[in-house]
Amino acid sequence: MKTTELNPVLKKYTKMGIIAFAVIVVAVLGIFAVSSLNKNVKLSTALAGVSSDAKNAAELRIAVISLEKVQAESKAFKDLTEQRKKYEAKLTARLEKEQKAIEKEEADIKKSQDILSQEALQRRVAEYQRHINEFRRDLNESAHAVEVSYQNALNTLQQKHLDPIIEGVIAKKNLSLLLDGRFVRTGKDINGLDITDEIVEALNKKVSTLKMATPKGF
């Protein structure tokens, strides 16, 4: 008798929840789609509506933030990560326990295949397969529920706590641009440019813990 091998994969979430900032910009840059033209026009005509005004770089106040460092060092982010790990540990324990039960069920079927009638054996195998399918579905749903709860908590942390702090720092320092450090390269004379530590310190003062909603199935 061919048996069905159980090989469920418990998804591991190795990266921190994504907080959606690539570049934080105070002045909005408009990007417009250019529709296809039926005829060509002169370059001077095409550029007629472009203003000659531009900001002098010397007048800009720019700072850089490392969001990865904010996630790695802020207390609230660490707390959420630990909560998620605890739920994942429960999933792993559930997986190991159910794996043993399924292996025992498979062994029992093998022992009874010479005793049961063909019809009874087929029913037993069908029940075994149903058991496996239900467990896989339940495990996947529980893993998904953990991730949803974690991401919702991250969104709350960002919108309720981190965003206001960042906006407050932008206003206090009168910044023109606040850039994500992953997308910029710096040279010399950058003292005071990186404000990550100030953001982390302010965030830690504002919130140190944030409870994830209990995921469905726990």
> 38-80: per-residue pLDDT in tens?
466 778 788 888 877 766 766 788 888 988 999 999 999 999 9
Residue at 140: amino acid letter: N
Mean pLDDT to the nearest integer, 15-26: 32
pLDDT at 31: 31
Query: Does 12 map to a domain?
Result: no
Per-residue tokens: 62: 């720019």
Query: Does 169 map to a domain?
Result: yes
Domain span at residue 105 reads 23-27+59-206
- β 62-65/23-25 pair status: unpaired
Per-chain mean pLDDT for the chain = 78
Query: Does 68 map to a domain?
Result: yes
Query: Does 35 map to a domain?
Result: no
pLDDT at 166: 92
Query: Does 36 map to a domain?
Result: no
28 has pLDDT over 50: no
| Helical segments of the chain, H only | 43-46, 67-73, 75-112, 118-156, 163-172, 196-206
pLDDT at 190: 64
Q: State the distance between the two ends of the chain, measured CA to CA, in whole angstroms.
A: 36
Domain count of the chain? Answer: 1
Q: Are 140 and 132 in contact (CB under 8 A)?
A: no
CA distance 108 to 2: 14
3-state SS, residue 217: coil
Query: Does 98 map to a domain?
Result: yes
Give pLDDT tens digits for 110-162.
Answer: 888 888 888 888 888 888 888 889 988 999 999 999 999 999 999 999 999 99
Query: Does 52 map to a domain?
Result: no
Strand arrangement, sheet containing 62-65: 23-25, 177-180, 62-65
The share of the chain scoring above pLDDT 90, in percent, equals 37
Q: Return the DSSP state at 113.
A: T
- β 23-25/177-180 pair status: antiparallel
pLDDT at 188: 65
8 has pLDDT over 70: no
Query: Does 10 map to a domain?
Result: no
